[in-house]
Structure 1
Amino acid sequence: MQTSPRATIALTGLAVMGRNLARNIARQGHTIAVHNRTTARKDALLEEFGHEGDFVGCDSLEELVAAVQRPRTIIVMVKAGEGTDAVIDELVPLLDEGDIVVDAGNAHPDHTRRRQQALEEDGLHFVGMGVSGGEEGALEGPSIMVGGSEHAYTNLGPVVESIAARVDGTPCAAHVGPDAAGHFVKMVHNGIEYADMQLIAESFDLLRHLAGLEPDAAAAVFAEWNQGDLESFLIEMTADVLAHTDAQTGRPFVDVVADAAEQKGTGRWTVQSALDLGVPVTGIAEATFARSLSGHEVIRAAAREAFGSDQAAGEVDGDLVDDVRAALYAAKVVAYAQGFDQIVAGSREHGWDVDPAAVATIWRGGCIIRARFLDRIQEAYAADPDLTTLLTAPFFADVVRESLDSWRRVVVAAARAGIPAPVLGGSLAYFDGLRRERLPAALIQALRDNFGAHTYQRVDGPGTFHTDWAGDRSQSEA
């Protein structure tokens, strides 16, 4: 048993993400104590990768706590929800005032807030730390979004900044705010990721079924796009996946993958949070529902039987490939703008003081949604921290203006051909809704007053009013 504490940090939970994060920490010169509920994983880590750094293997949480210098910092990398609660409940009696517990999983921000408040009563610091980049990012350099107290980040910061990805010498890790700010920002990151992937999938669908490009040819198009303004990790990965051939059948790999996309919940949480905050994240919502629709195989089969599955003969105007590129770019701008709108709204609601420019900075490398235009997002918020919405920043306003005709042609072509493009189309509707001088919401509010006396306001003066619809239709001030 380890008796003298020499580790500077500890980690429990050695599944793929936890193991790779522990290896990354050790590689950066930190002595790390490691533990797993089943000791076989801990033993395998030490046997295979023990040479990469200074690990302290522990067979129990008691040993883990004893191995770490005070104030102790212990990272928890276990299944979100009840699994995390179980580990925390077991850890807390072993810790001392001022120690820090870090949840590095995908936790719901409300759960993080609850845990933070509970541990605070015991004199402990709880950190909700969002980690993006998948298993490769965890090992080679993720993007890290830390929430919690300044005291906690003073101890944790040097470690996370040393293991994070770096862009232009700047670590892609930051203390984004107190409380659940870190997990909230990570949640929205994942929501944007949902929209981004759905947009890419819709674009491929159009390239294939309207432009007639088979997956290998579409792969070449995405690879070309990745050399320009659309450069991003997801575009690069799309080219790689579409170029891959299935070894068993010789068919394009994308054609042998079942067309039912799964989800772990972060997209759904993002949409639910946006509804609570009153922020219209239509791109993220449509992407989340598109995944849900893909999994409803029985309903889909019934619809095919009733209506057939043939596409209409779509009429393509102009250069479809260029139009799809422009539409994809504009709709991606909308998705990121909506995500940042939600971060700003959440920060205001909870008093977190999250800096959107700092968020864009740490998303430039390591994370799944890293993209060239995050530099532009960082510049936009640095120039105007009170920016109303990213869409109106000069660079992005120009992008949308230049893309608008192509965007409309693509949405029309998809509708004519019967090819679903919910995020491309929904994002265009969102854009058009924002810029309309008058929306049909006036009729909705009048109907609400008619059936439920919900009142209305007038455009020609202040006040709130109700019309006596069942009587003489006189107006009275509410």
Structure 2
Amino acid sequence: MALCDIGFVGLGVMGKSLTLNLADNGYQVAAFDLDQGKVEGVLAQDRLENKTDATRVQGCESFVDLLAKVKAPRTIVLSVPAGAPVDSVCRKLIEAGIGPDDTVVDTGNSLWSDTVRREKMYDGLFMFFSTAVSGGEQGARFGPSLMPSGDRRAWERIKPMWQAIAAKVDPKTGKPIERAEPGNPVTEGEPCAEYIGPNGAGHYVKMVHNGIEYADMQLICEAYHVMRDALQMSPKEIAAVFREWNQGVLDSYLIEISAEVLEEMDSATDAPLVDVILDRAGQKGTGMWTAMSSLELASPAPTITAAVYARAMSALKSERVHAACILLGPQGEKPSEAEKAATIAQLHDALYCSKICAYAQGFQLMASAARANGWTLDFAAIAKIWRAGCIIRAVFLQKITDAYVRNEDLANLLLDPFFVDEIATHQMNWRKAIANATVLGIPCGAFSSALAYYDSYRLETLPANLLQGQRDYFGAHTFERTDAPAGEMYHVEWGTAERAMHKMG
């Protein structure tokens, strides 16, 4: 048999899907997994879907067999769990004979700093490259959003393959070109795969993508919560609202699937499925990593952080059940139809404005990380590759692309003229939605944090002047004066009768 174009290690859900996607796009793949049942599974699936006479996927029995079946210089893709398994596979590949001109590509949800470490650790043994993948199983199979980073030589080698398998977007509308058919890949449009940068930049960008995803999901859930509890709407009624919203500025994958979830009925109880799903959310860490990075870089991302805390609060199920019997909240009354319609309109605008702020926080965080790590990130390109294939794909991302095309040095999305006008138009409904939810006792931490972020960013003066006075009082931390040059520090002798002020340094 002819040597394969690329090798794959790890044939779980994502690895199997990416392997078949490559095969659909005309590439021969050598596939290996420690579980030979998974190797047989992908071969069987390929035989079922293969519409050509060529052998598209070759199964491998070992790491040595894998390397022998891939043409040099070899590209080996890892689709294994983040952490220790990545290094374990790398060691096995070294033992099997991988060489300095070969490339190993990590496609897992690795912490970006681990990727930086691995690039240094394996330098000279092989080129360690990373590609963050978004879109889940369906995206991996029929077109994911890909965020590659590392050595540019490796990128040039895999670029044709990655842009072939990536999701595609209509360049005129910015909308995804979707075709979920085995053997019939999308070949037209702009691919959602572009080089991000060096040293783990791709995994950092994917981490922030996931942080924004946390925020986006929580914002939708808060809108649902108000409609379900305050407006006493059925899941199907809420689904209808989401479907209507999905025809306008909120058009997105997450709104679309939220409607589908709400419409689903449980076969065991004949109740709406959402009503029998336990309200305890899981998380895999990327949202937490984003929140931690925002704190480390002092780059405010309160809406992303609020979404992480919301999941943590949901995990306290038994405590909440107990607290519900003790802690009192306000008593609400069923709203009139007019009040209901007004509240739904307010929620729409609250979701839209909060979404703008969540993305602004994410892009501001990426800019902070780029400065700290010496990266040059193309934010217009990043917004472009998020327009399809990934979980946060939305029409809205075209507006973000346009904003960074207009001004590549834009300090914050909120300063772009389009978003300035959008929030000015919709902010009163945003404020009313939060006020109404608060009066009714419905938690809206993500909505509230987004508004607080907006209001803090737009104010010339914040109460940090008092805070600096407090810090100087108890800890002699000093402060700057508004009527003195920047950087000149002062301290007051607070405990003395005279309270003398001294210029420091």
Q: TM-score, normalised by structure 1?
A: 0.97
Whole-angstrom distance in 2 between the partners of 1:276 and 1:206: 34
Q: 1:360 aligns with which of 347, 365, 383?
A: 383
Range moving further from structure 2, 190-199 or 38-47 = 38-47
In the TM superposition, 1:416-435 aligns within 5 A as: 416-435=439-458
Shift of 1:435: 1.3
Instruction: Identify the residue that residue 501 of structure 2 maps to in structure 1.
Output: 475
Whole-angstrom distance in 1 between the partners of 2:384 and 2:249: 17
Whole-angstrom distance in 2 between the partners of 1:290 and 1:46: 42
Shift of 1:426: 1.0
Tell me which amino acid in the other structure corresponds to 1:218.
I
Instruction: Identify the residue that residue 264 of structure 1 maps to in structure 2.
Output: 284
Label 1:27 to 1:317 Cα distance change in 2 as closer, same or farther (>3 A). Answer: closer
Contact 2:265 2:271 in 1 (8 A): yes
In the alignment, does 2:45 pair up with 1:25?
Answer: no
Shift of 1:467: 1.0
Whole-angstrom distance in 2 between the partners of 1:417 and 1:385: 42
Instruction: Identify the residue that residue 211 of structure 2 maps to in structure 1.
Output: 191
Shift of 1:110: 0.8
Label 1:112 to 1:5 Cα distance change in 2 as closer, same or farther (>3 A). Answer: farther
Instruction: Identify the residue that residue 89 of structure 2 maps to in structure 1.
Output: 87
Tell me which amino acid in the other structure corresponds to 1:31.
Q
Contact 1:101 1:127 in 2 (8 A): yes
Shift of 1:308: 4.3
What whole-Å deviation, never above 9, does each CA across 1:219-277 have from its counterpart, x for those lacking one?
Answer: 00100110111100001111111111111111111101000010000000001111111
Q: 2:33 aligns with which of 23, 31, 36?
A: 36
Range moving further from structure 2, 87-96 or 260-269 = 87-96
Contact 1:46 1:57 in 2 (8 A): yes
What whole-Å deviation, never above 9, does each CA across 1:99-158 have from its counterpart, x for those lacking one?
Answer: 1111101010111111111111x2421112110000000001000000111101011111
Whole-angstrom distance in 2 between the partners of 1:325 and 1:368: 20
SS in 1 for 2:480: strand
Label 1:311 to 1:43 Cα distance change in 2 as closer, same or farther (>3 A). Answer: farther
SS in 2 for 1:419: coil
Whole-angstrom distance in 2 between the partners of 1:313 and 1:344: 46
Instruction: Identify the residue that residue 395 of structure 2 maps to in structure 1.
Output: 372
In the TM superposition, 1:174-189 aligns within 5 A as: 174-189=194-209
Contact 2:46 2:57 in 1 (8 A): no
Whole-angstrom distance in 2 between the partners of 1:447 and 1:41: 62
Aligned residues: 474
Instruction: Identify the residue that residue 266 of structure 2 maps to in structure 1.
Output: 246
Q: 2:3 aligns with which of 6, 10, 34?
A: 6
SS in 2 for 1:319: helix
Contact 1:196 1:335 in 2 (8 A): yes
Shift of 1:313: 4.5
In the TM superposition, 1:428-443 aligns within 5 A as: 428-443=451-466
Unaligned runs of 5+ in 1: none
Q: 2:306 aligns with which of 279, 286, 304?
A: 286
In the TM superposition, 1:285-364 aligns within 5 A as: 285-308=305-328, 311-313=331-333, 319-364=342-387
SS in 1 for 2:133: strand
Instruction: Identify the residue that residue 74 of structure 1 maps to in structure 2.
Output: 76
Whole-angstrom distance in 2 between the partners of 1:468 and 1:99: 65
What whole-Å deviation, never above 9, does each CA across 1:18-51 have from its counterpart, x for those lacking one?
Answer: 1001000111000111000111110111023235
Contact 1:317 1:409 in 2 (8 A): no
Contact 1:314 1:413 in 2 (8 A): no
Whole-angstrom distance in 2 between the partners of 1:344 and 1:338: 10
In the alignment, does 2:139 pair up with 1:137?
Answer: yes
Range moving further from structure 2, 180-189 or 60-69 = 60-69
Whole-angstrom distance in 2 between the partners of 1:152 and 1:352: 18
Contact 1:35 1:64 in 2 (8 A): yes
**Percentage of matched positions with identical amino acids:** 42
What whole-Å deviation, never above 9, does each CA across 1:202-228 have from its counterpart, x for those lacking one?
Answer: 001111222232100010010011011
SS in 2 for 1:155: helix
Instruction: Identify the residue that residue 226 of structure 1 maps to in structure 2.
Output: 246
Contact 2:77 2:105 in 1 (8 A): yes
Range moving further from structure 2, 299-308 or 67-76 = 299-308
Instruction: Identify the residue that residue 392 of structure 1 maps to in structure 2.
Output: 415
Tell me which amino acid in the other structure corresponds to 1:260.
R
Tell me which amino acid in the other structure corresponds to 1:23.
L
Range moving further from structure 2, 276-285 or 468-477 = 468-477
In the alignment, does 2:129 pair up with 1:127?
Answer: yes
Contact 2:232 2:334 in 1 (8 A): no
Q: TM-score, normalised by structure 2?
A: 0.91
Instruction: Identify the residue that residue 153 of structure 1 maps to in structure 2.
Output: 155
Shift of 1:437: 2.3
Tell me which amino acid in the other structure corresponds to 1:447.
Q
Contact 2:30 2:58 in 1 (8 A): yes
Tell me which amino acid in the other structure corresponds to 1:418.
G
Q: 2:430 aligns with which of 407, 430, 446?
A: 407
Contact 2:98 2:125 in 1 (8 A): no
In angstroms, what is the RMSD of aligned CA positions?
1.5
What whole-Å deviation, never above 9, does each CA across 1:144-193 have from its counterpart, x for those lacking one?
Answer: 00011110101111111000000021100011111101100000000000
Range moving further from structure 2, 423-432 or 309-318 = 309-318
Shift of 1:327: 0.7
Contact 1:314 1:417 in 2 (8 A): no
Label 1:299 to 1:42 Cα distance change in 2 as closer, same or farther (>3 A). Answer: same
